[in-house]
């Protein structure tokens, strides 16, 4: 079985694939100080809930934007799965995606994995909106090349900055307001954060589509994207499995003998 790990700045996703389907998925807060041994204890307990153990895992693929966490996750695979992990971003790893940038090394591992995860599911030119710590807008051409994109602050990051920078503004939860016009402080903040992000998404998608000059399918993914379902006018598909689908394809491209693991 394959253990796929996507380590972001805020959360880390662990998922187990048995060769035909995803058996389980778990999220934990990203902590760069967590050791391989601590990960192993945590993961073994969750595996037991699925009648699995660390010994059932035979391969590992990792995407990480946190260097110190990557060191510990490599050690998790080596010590407890007894396998050398396939790591997105390593020079020897084939992602199956052409990077059409002046400095290809600047393309984030998470963005390239998303590009691959969308390419195996959708045809034609793609625009991928990933809402996490940052909100990214990435363009993949009809030929499958990663063309670049836009990086904006994530909705949670913006809300946190608003609370920290203004002494009298409280910390609030993200909710869809019934009205744009707020009648109290919390309502005004929720409207600004939520509808501001809806217009940020729609505005940037429309600008990117106009600049691209051809039809594009817009796919939204990421931890808080579901909040925007039904509120935007530009997103064609909401797909929570883009990243893990991409990681599975990375594994299949680079470990063909273990493609069914």
Residue 225 near residue 101, CB atoms below 8 Å: no
**Distance between CA atoms of residues 73 and 88, nearest Å:** 13
Q: Which residues fall within 8 angstroms of residue 261, CB to CB, at 6 or more apart?
A: 1, 2, 17, 19, 58, 59, 251, 255
In angstroms, what CA-CA distances link 125 with 36, 106, 109?
39, 22, 20
**Distance between CA atoms of residues 249 and 255, nearest Å:** 10
Question: Which is nearest to 237 in space by CA: 63, 114, 113, 154?
Answer: 114
Question: Which is nearest to 40 in space by CA: 50, 53, 27?
Answer: 53
3-state secondary structure of 251: helix
96 burial (CB, 10 Å; 0-12 / 13-18 / 19+) is middle
Q: Which residues pair with 150 in a beta bridge?
A: 137
Question: Which is nearest to 219 in space by CA: 199, 203, 204, 240?
Answer: 240
**Distance between CA atoms of residues 156 and 175, nearest Å:** 12
Which residues are known catalytic residues?
110
């Amino acid at each position: 079985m394959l253990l796929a790990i996507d380590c972001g700045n805020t959360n880390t996703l662990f998922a187990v694939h048995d060769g035909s389907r995803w058996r389980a998925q778990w999220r934990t807060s990203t902590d760069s100080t967590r050791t391989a041994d601590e990960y192993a204890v945590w993961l073994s307990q969750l595996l037991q809930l699925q009648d699995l153990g660390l010994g059932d895992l035979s391969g590992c693929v990792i995407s990480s934007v946190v260097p110190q966490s990557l060191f510990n996750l490599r050690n998790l695979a080596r010590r407890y799965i007894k396998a050398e992990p396939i790591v997105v971003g390593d020079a020897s790893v084939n992602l199956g995606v052409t990077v059409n940038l002046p400095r290809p090394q600047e393309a984030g591992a998470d963005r390239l994995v998303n590009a691959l995860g969308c390419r195996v599911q959708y045809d034609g030119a793609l625009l991928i909106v990933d809402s996490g710590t940052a909100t990214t807008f990435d363009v993949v051409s009809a030929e499958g090349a990663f063309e670049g994109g836009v990086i904006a602050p994530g909705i949670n990051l913006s809300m946190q900055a608003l609370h920290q920078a203004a002494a009298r503004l409280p910390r609030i939860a993200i909710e869809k307001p019934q009205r744009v016009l707020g009648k109290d402080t919390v309502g005004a903040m929720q409207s600004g954060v939520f509808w501001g992000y809806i217009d940020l998404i729609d505005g940037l998608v429309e600008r990117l589509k106009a600049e691209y000059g051809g039809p594009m399918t817009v796919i939204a993914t990421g931890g808080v994207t579901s909040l925007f379902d039904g509120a935007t006018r530009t997103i064609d598909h909401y797909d929570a499995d883009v990243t893990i689908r991409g990681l599975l394809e990375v594994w299949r491209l680079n470990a063909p003998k273990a493609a069914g693991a």
